[in-house]
């Protein structure tokens, strides 16, 4: 027996189809906007200039010097970036978590197009800013196409699983998760940190380790990880229960995961 459906059924189907056409794409369908500059420390000025070029014209830069044990010399920081062609520079700094939670503290990040996180000790950055509006605004900056860079501690802080210190046994902590699925170690060959990154990957086998030597950086653009600088980046991962190590140098693109 033939069954007759109400006419509204066809109209409902057409309405649903129209809605699907205007729904925003899922995060997996959207093009990846992540732009990061992850440097291993002891940066030559040429690498700072590379970051400045990537930041683009008319850049509004926020510098976060919180990792340092010393109070920042604001004028010196501004002068150094001015000499690299960036004229609009603001400093965002506190070691007091209550201050970082205060209304308006993170406002400079809202109009920023680039952020630079300076070196020192990465735990100072984490202690001051994790779970605060500063962290939230950093992700918003990436989402709108800005770039976040950092050297030494400013590199280590960019992953969620973060090496806080220790060698050869790493002390682990939590970072910013700007680069998902990874652990970054800095000053890598210069300070003989291979053993501690291997230990960190053995403890977190789902992650990939990137050991970045001094005067060297990874430029992340979406899913592309490109090496620039004078030395090497080592990628360390656990494959079939065994540690696999690959080395990459200036101009090479790092596969994010071995085949």
Q: Domain range holding 195?
A: 31-254
At 257 the pLDDT is: 64
Say if 127 falls within a structural domain.
yes
pLDDT tens column, 178-207: 999 999 999 999 999 999 999 999 999 999
C-alpha–C-alpha distance, residues 147 and 55, integer Å: 6
Q: Is the peptide bond before 168 cis (omega within 30 degrees of 0)?
A: yes
Say if 126 falls within a structural domain.
yes
Say if 199 falls within a structural domain.
yes
C-alpha–C-alpha distance, residues 15 and 18, integer Å: 5
Confidence band for 256, pLDDT divided at 50, 70 and 90:
confident
Say if 96 falls within a structural domain.
yes
Say if 9 falls within a structural domain.
no
Say if 70 falls within a structural domain.
yes
What strands, in cross-sheet order, belong to the sheet with 224-229? Answer: 88-91, 60-64, 114-117, 147-151, 35-39, 216-221, 224-229, 253-254
Tokens of 192: 């003989």
The CATH number of residue 220's host domain is: 3.40.50.880
Give the number of domains in the chain: 1
Question: Residue 40 in contact with residue 186, Cβ under 8 Å?
Answer: yes
C-alpha–C-alpha distance, residues 139 and 145, integer Å: 10
pLDDT at 48 over 80: yes
For the whole model, what pTM was predicted? 0.87
What is the mean pLDDT of the segment spanning 2-30? Answer: 33
At 176 the pLDDT is: 97
pLDDT at 253 over 90: yes
At 220 the pLDDT is: 98
C-alpha–C-alpha distance, residues 53 and 12, integer Å: 52
pLDDT tens column, 74-105: 999 999 999 999 999 999 999 999 999 999 99
C-alpha–C-alpha distance, residues 145 and 98, integer Å: 29
Confidence band for 174, pLDDT divided at 50, 70 and 90:
very high
Report the C-alpha dihedral over residues 4, 8, 10, 15, rounded to 10 degrees: -160
Tokens of 96: 């007091």
Say if 3 falls within a structural domain.
no
Say if 8 falls within a structural domain.
no
């Amino acid at each position: 027996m033939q069954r007759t459906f109400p006419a509204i059924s066809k109209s409902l189907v057409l309405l649903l189809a129209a809605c699907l056409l205007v729904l925003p794409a899922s995060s997996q369908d959207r093009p990846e906007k992540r732009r990061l500059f992850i440097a291993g420390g002891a940066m030559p000025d040429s690498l700072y200039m590379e970051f400045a070029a990537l930041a683009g014209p008319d850049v509004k830069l926020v510098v976060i010097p919180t990792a340092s044990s010393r109070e920042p010399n604001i004028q010196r920081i501004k002068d150094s970036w001015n000499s690299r062609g960036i004229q609009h520079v603001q400093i965002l700094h506190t070691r007091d978590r209550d201050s970082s939670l205060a209304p308006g503290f993170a406002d400079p990040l809202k109009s920023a197009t680039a952020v630079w996180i300076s070196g020192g000790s990465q735990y100072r950055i984490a202690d001051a800013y994790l779970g605060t509006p500063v962290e939230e605004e950093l992700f918003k900056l990436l989402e709108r196409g800005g770039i976040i860079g950092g050297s030494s501690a400013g590199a280590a802080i960019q992953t969620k699983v973060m090496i806080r210190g220790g060698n050869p046994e790493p002390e682990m902590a939590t970072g910013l998760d700007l680069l998902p699925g990874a652990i970054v170690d800095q000053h890598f060959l210069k300070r003989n940190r291979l053993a501690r990154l291997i230990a960190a990957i053995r403890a977190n086998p789902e992650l990939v380790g990137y050991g970045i030597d001094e005067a060297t950086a990874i430029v992340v653009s979406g899913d592309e990880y490109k090496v620039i600088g004078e030395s090497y980046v080592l990628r360390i991962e656990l494959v079939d229960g065994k540690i696999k190590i690959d080395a990459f140098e200036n101009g090479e693109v790092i596969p994010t995961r071995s085949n």
